[in-house]
């Protein structure tokens, strides 16, 4: 059994980080779904949904990465270096994916847009599992 405890030093910084880090997770995962929907239907509205989801995820992700870097340097609540590096890799992949999605129609999604969307979600999942610190196993 794993117990997750909230850090005692700066709970507000941790709460703000968790708030901003939840949006990119949702947005980048939904980008995969909208890319698959566009692949199946070729309706351009799904491509535009993907573009807006990427933008929202990048904006909130930039704030989350900034807070994580400040907390890492200040040793507020203890994100690991692996977690921060994984977040920055996922952020870089999402930025690349945003540039790919600016192309016209089919070439914006198939094959590179969908591939980078899936790679971003996989990196986020690996980072979430490897970047935890301070979990107590009982």
List the domain boundaries for the chain. 9-137
Question: Is residue 67 predicted with pLDDT exceeding 60?
Answer: yes
| Residue of 69, 95, 99 whose CA lies nearest to 83 | 69
Using H for helix, E for strand and C for coil, what is the string for the chain? CEECCCCCCCHHHHHHHHHHHHHHHHHHHHHHHHHHHHHHHCCHHHHHHHHHHHHHHHHHHHHHHHHHHHHHHHCCCCCCHHHHHHHHHHHHHHHHHHHHCCCCHHHHCCCHHHHHHHHHHHHHHHHHHHCCCCCEEC
Indicate if the alpha-carbon torsion angle 42, 45, 46, 52 is positive or negative: positive
In this structure, the chain runs to a length of 138
pLDDT (tens digit per residue) in 31-52? 999 999 999 998 999 999 999 9
- Binning pLDDT at 50, 70 and 90, where does residue 5 land? very low
Q: Does the pTM of the predicted model rise above 0.95?
A: no
């Amino acid at each position: 059994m794993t117990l997750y405890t909230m850090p005692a030093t700066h709970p507000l910084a941790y709460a703000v980080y968790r708030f901003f880090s939840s949006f990119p997770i949702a947005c980048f995962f939904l980008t995969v779904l909208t890319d698959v929907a566009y692949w199946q239907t070729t309706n351009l509205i799904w491509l535009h949904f993907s573009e807006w989801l990427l933008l929202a995820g990048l904006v909130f992700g930039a704030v989350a990465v900034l807070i994580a870097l400040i907390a890492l340097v200040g040793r507020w609540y203890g994100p690991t270096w692996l977690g921060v590096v994984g977040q920055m890799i996922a952020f870089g992949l999402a930025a690349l994916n945003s540039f790919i999605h600016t192309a016209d129609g089919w070439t914006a999604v198939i094959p590179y847009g969908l591939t980078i969307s899936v790679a971003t979600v996989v990196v986020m999942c690996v980072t979430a599992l490897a970047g935890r610190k301070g979990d107590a196993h009982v």
